[in-house]
Structure 1
Amino acid sequence: MKAKQFLLNSKALVAAIFSAAIFFAGCKKDDAMAETTPEVSLSTEATEATASATAVRALEGYGATTLGGTGKTVYRVTNLNSSGSGSFMAALGSNRTIVFDVAGTINNFSYTGYNVTNLTIDGTTAPSPGITVSGGSSNGIAFEDGCHDIIVKNIRVRNMGNDGFAVTNGAYNIVFDHVSSSGNHDGNLDVTAGAYNVTVQYSLLGGGASDWSGNMLIAYTPTRNVSVHHNLLLSKTTGGVGERNPMVHSSNGSPGSNMMVDFRNNLVYNWGRNGGTGSGYGTGIDYEGTANVINNFYQSAAAASSAVSMDPDPTAGSGSQAYIAGNVSGNSGVNPNSGSNRAMYPITGGGVVTTQSACEAATIVRAEAGAQPLDAIDQALIAQVSLTACGTVPPSNQAPTVSAGSNNSITLPTSSVTLTGTASDPDGTISSYAWTKTSGPAATIGSPSSVSTTVSGLTAGTYVFNLRVTDNGGLTANSSVTVTVAAASGTNQNPVSNAGPDKAVTLPTNSTTLTGSATDDVQVASYYWEKVSGPSGGAITSPTSATTTITGLNVGTYVYNLRATDNVGATSNDAVNVVVSGSGTPPPINTNPISNAGADKSITLPTNSVTLNGSGTDNGGSIAGYLWEKISGPSGGSISSPNSATTNITGLNAGTYVYNLRVTDNQGATGNDGVTIVVNGVTTPPPVGYGTLLYTQLYDVSSSVNTSGGIRNTRSTSLYKTGPGSFRSEVRYADRNLNNGYRGEMAYQGTTYNPTEGVIEYDVYYQGWKNWGGGGSTILWQPTTSGASAVVGLQNYDGNFKVVRAIGSTVTQQSGTLRAVAPNTWYKMRWEVKWSSSSDGYIRLYIDNVLYYSFTGQTTDGSGTPYLKVGQNRWSITSGSNSVVHYDNLRIYQK
């Protein structure tokens, strides 16, 4: 357009009009899009230091080392919709911190994450009264297979069809900090099915629906290493069950071999059945559960002597083990430590928690538990709690205060600066300091654990450093300082501003979004939008963000300018026109594109690269960009073309990799899809002198059979036929689908019908398979005998080669051991065969040229060609289970 061309050609005039440099103060977008400017990425520490009036509590227990999304991309939630652009659901994923620009209740919300890693959900960033998710048909927020390093804090979950929060199926390194959960139909927060390294702290679990199961279940092999400390558990539910505070059962291995739960410094109130007025128990340990139950406060109108109960179901297993000590009851004359402990000392194994007396901890919990600030429902729950039998409790620990010092500015070639922090504690001492870099280019922190430190190796750009202090009671505080490093004099280049494409709007639509950007030789520090001309209206909602919404537009042409300022104050400008015409049909709402990362891949070393073929589709628009990211996996696995639909992944190592393809449409909406690459280890090479390769077949999972009750179910397939000769073959047995309880067998099988005399040789690699039922490799030579099928075989039973002979339905194992079988060893097998029509013949077996077996029998005449048959057999221990039959990396050679 001419107007824009004139403005673009008049940069000097625009620069004179817009001279004020306004530095970046935050980036707010109209959907859950990633913030790409480094200095606005909110670290976990920064959020904790500024967002909540409640003292920040350090993460403790088994989940204390959880990383979360610290240092990852920040995603903003800008509305309370259950899905779609700007929603909480759209923001969920890996390698990110989610913050909230809105407050209130998100209805009809249910989320279960798979393979989600390095995620922080930070409800402390929401305005008062915070974020509640409610009314979903399944779990509220759950993490399952492949999820790890996740922190959830200051979020409420209510009235879900199943669990409020759940961690299951091997998820690990999970933390719930200051969360609330109530009114759900199963449990408020369950940890099951092999989850481990989990911490639940300073949270409120407040009763459920009338048909619920109870507050908290921690169960099922091999769930372990769960810390539950400083939480308020209120079980009162009218007419319902008020137990499981928590219920602990089904440990991994023998009792006490793994700590399942460390339950300490919690406040358990109004437990028991029928609204906390009838029978029932508070905390239960059964079915070989293992737990510490230490320094908790219990009070209820129920049978108070059952505050802590071992094996509450008298028919349950008898192997439960718990150390129960230091607990206090608000019920007069009741000792909650009098149960059958079955452990003389606390069950250890890590998971350190700063521990107070039961009464002191209960006072802290009553003041701090739950998502902060408390909403009306949580306030009403806490108002029920009164702490009797505690008397005067010492005051709780107060948080320290800290300052990271004044902001610094330097100019290259100066490349180092000294950061001087200060800290104090009103009721104790400072026990540790920790400096970390929150954002900016590379730098070296000289003394990260001192109150002051030198930072060196600085380059041009803006850095943010955080100082975290911890007092002797475990409370922490944070403060940040900014270091601006200017380029050497005379070398800085002006940034390049881009206000985006012109916009056309037709009333009654009276708003539009302007998406700006800028590039710089060092770093863009701030953006500033301003209206240059146009009718009345056209307000700018986010003038200091790269992206802003323009509202209240009227008919006419508007011109807006975007000024970008770099870190040393240089600026540039660009303008965009917004043309508003009369009334008409509103434009359609943009929908998210659909990403397709392609089919999962499987390769075997030495092949160490693979091609991923992705694609994207968009309803009503076009795909504007692609981005491949590595989500998880071993080292290596470089992405050759991260911004293309198709890319090569190179340098792969043995293991499982997960990659994500993000597609972006022409209006900025995104979609994601993942793909898995399985890299199998290097196949054991065949012995020297194999000869000519005749046949190759790689991994195949297409063949399966049902098995029943330990009955052998054999499956064999002809793979190669040839004329007379001597053959060798190699089979690698490496089944990823089966584990303990199954047996693998290699079978080399030859058959002849012609009167013949000859030799068949094999090289067998014994890899040390499971010895259940006498398993291992089997070599069979099968002639046809008069009236019955005869099989003479050499099998590995319990690490020894033995002979098995089968004629008809009679199977016998020859006595004595022929030879011990060493794992990971090649053996040469040699069969001598001699058969004549209607006369005796023989089969002789040699191992490494030593004769071990000779079998004489009679065969009928026939015709045909000798052929080699190679197969594998599988069967299971238990009735009704499935077994997979396949051939894995089979090669047949002729000498």
Structure 2
Amino acid sequence: MVKYYSSFLSLISVSYKTYSKHFKLQGKLCVLLVLFLCVFTANAQDCSVNAGIDETICGDITSFELSGSTAGNLNSNAVWSQVSGSAVTIEDPNNLETAITGMIGGNTYTFRLSAMCRDGVSVFQDVTITVEPITIANAGTDITSCPDSSGGVLITGNTPSNAGETGVWSIIGNNGAGVTINNATAPSTTLDLSQGSAGTTTLRWTISGPEYAPGLRCETYDEITITNYGGVEPVDAGPDQILNSCYTVSQSTNLNGSFAGNGTGGQQGTWTFVTGTREPTIVNPNDNNTQVTGLFEGTYVFRWTVSGPCVNGSDTVTITVDGASQDVTQATVQNGNQVFCNSSVTQTTLVGNEPDYAGETVLWTQTSGPPATISNPNSSTTAVTGLSYNNTYQFNYTIINEETGCSTSSNVRVSYSDNNLAIEVNNGMDIIGECGMETISIPFATTGNGVNEYC
């Protein structure tokens, strides 16, 4: 094209000299020359490349992907090359989207995407990648240990190596091992492991860099697990118990032995029946707080035996069961705890279960909150009036057998929510459905924050 362009200019030059005396023709030739140059310039680049936008990444990224694009008529594939920065590896220079490896924190790299258009014009664009320095976190090794409440368990993470970096230990998920971190911001710190816990806890050591832009900073972390075998010393089977006569056939109770572990690392306890009127049922022999059923009148002895790498020993507990008189109905409150969102509510209804056995009576009492009025304290269902907004009330429901002296009870709480939800249904007007209607819409409007439901 350059050759033809030169020839055309020569032709124009000759024509110009021949007709230079004719002003009008000279003007036309000038216009023709300008138009030609405009057309030539417009067609001089018929393709383009886009190397993407400049980015800042963190130094813990081992591989970064360049993402370019092209447009127009290319004579060949676009090619990536490195313009500046320490030498890195461009995995596939001929691919618009290619991985870059070997970049190091604290450096800036420039990459160029180049291409040749079909008209012979070379085009390129550069992109700059800034790599912020960050220390790669190392939390050390996993630890298994017996419980230690004196800071005898040591964990050691690496120290941040760049200016402005900080480190912190944190507990991730459930704290099954009962870990207490004594100095969370120190790379090396001691831990307390609870005797009353057994299991595994995940600890994370996080290293954070300074902000490189508002709200943005580099961060790396590493995790270790702390396994606590558990076990309380000394071994204790709990206090002796005397069970009352409030039963018809047999009694039951919970044993209260010291925590012995949960089998982690082989550390656990086992309940065994030693002596008694007849052999009862130990529901879960390895649970220090297991239930025991099938206890008839008489005296029973149980042994709590603990063994494992941390705690060993045994202890016994005696359970004495009085002679049976009669069961008493277990008291329950049927409508549960109540929360009102409307500040205008001043009364409610409490509903307890009916007694099952002859000779039983019921009693509602107020145990906390400003004085309220229980309309019928000796009925299983009663109204309560005199409630006031922004207060909390506690009521107790008791079923009593006056003959045997046996009783059971349950509590219910009445409170108000700060959400103060108000509901107006159909503008306060009744809704009357026509004969044959199978569905009726109930319009309502609410104010305040809360949850509403049909009942």
Same fold judged by TM-score > 0.5?
A: no
Normalising by the residue count of structure 2, what TM-score does the alignment of the two structures yield?
A: 0.30
Max radius of gyration: which structure? Answer: 2
Normalising by the residue count of structure 1, what TM-score does the alignment of the two structures yield?
A: 0.17
Relative CO higher for 1 or 2, CA cutoff 8 Å, sep ≥ 6?
Answer: 2
